[in-house]
Amino acid sequence: MGGVAKILSQMIKGVLRKGVCDKGYTAKVTAEQFGPAGDDSAPMAGDTVAIMEIGENGRSIIVGSIDVVNVPKAAAGEKRFYSRGALSVPMAEIWLKKDGTVVISNLAGKVELSATGGLKASNNLGAIDLQSTGGVTVSNTLGKIALSPVGIITLNNLVNIDLLGNIVTTGSIHSLNYP
């Protein structure tokens, strides 16, 4: 027999994670949590869990859980993992999208590997963009440097330096003589 319950608390005993669950219609039940090997995830107090009773001795196991606070975002065919902090606020996530894109993010930054091999990493102060064509752009709040797939360097969209060292600019070039 199975059912759903609200998880009240968690404990770890040896290699087993156990949850104290409120099934609503009976006394509280302590159930062992089962999941895929290598997955170390714990439902938070207040989450809804699926419980199954096994054997004749009344032993119960948790076979799945639902975050009842955050709305699911993953589309059909996608996988999204996330951790939660106080009040169930998502703190970090890994999102495997159905087009092959992988996104890793937290509250301070994000890394995205596109399905075509491009890589973008950013935070509030800067970004690095490695395009699938081989070009690279590095930027922060004060400027930008780009390296094109054919080796041309561009500084703040104002100065280009080609492979021969030629400098092309719309501004002035000043030479500073240092002693």
Query: Which CATH number belongs to the domain containing residue 150 in this structure?
Result: 2.60.450.20
Distance from C-alpha of 130 to C-alpha of 114, rounded to nearest angstrom: 10
Residues 33 and 20 sit within 8 Å (Cβ to Cβ): no
Whole-model pTM? 0.81
Same domain for 92 and 62: no
Does 33 map to a domain?
Answer: yes
Nearest to 151 by CA among 166, 135, 138: 135
Q: What is the pLDDT of residue 81?
A: 94
Same domain for 163 and 83: yes
Does 73 map to a domain?
Answer: no
Distance from C-alpha of 89 to C-alpha of 69, rounded to nearest angstrom: 9
Same domain for 48 and 90: no
Distance from C-alpha of 125 to C-alpha of 109, rounded to nearest angstrom: 9
Q: What is the pLDDT tens value at each position of the chain, 179 positions in all?
A: 678 888 898 888 888 888 888 887 767 888 888 888 888 888 898 899 999 988 777 788 899 999 999 999 999 999 999 999 999 999 999 999 999 999 999 999 999 999 999 999 999 999 999 999 999 999 999 999 999 999 999 998 888 888 888 888 877 776 666 55
Same domain for 59 and 135: no
Residues 154 and 167 sit within 8 Å (Cβ to Cβ): no
Same domain for 164 and 117: yes
Reading the block at residue 79, the tokens are 């996988």
**CATH code, domain with 55:** 2.40.50
Greatest CA span in the chain, whole angstroms? Answer: 90
Name the burial class of residue 72, with classes exposed (0-12), middle (13-18) and buried (19+) by CB atoms within 10 angstroms of its CB.
exposed
Q: 150 by DSSP, 3-state: which?
A: coil
Residue 26, domain extent:
2-66
Q: 88 by DSSP, 3-state: which?
A: helix
Nearest to 7 by CA among 26, 24, 29, 22: 22
Does 130 map to a domain?
Answer: yes
What amino acid is encoded at 70 in this protein? Answer: N
Q: Which residues contact 153 (CB under 8 A, 6 or more apart)?
A: 145, 146, 147, 160, 161
Does 178 map to a domain?
Answer: no
Does 175 map to a domain?
Answer: no
Does 151 map to a domain?
Answer: yes
Same domain for 123 and 60: no
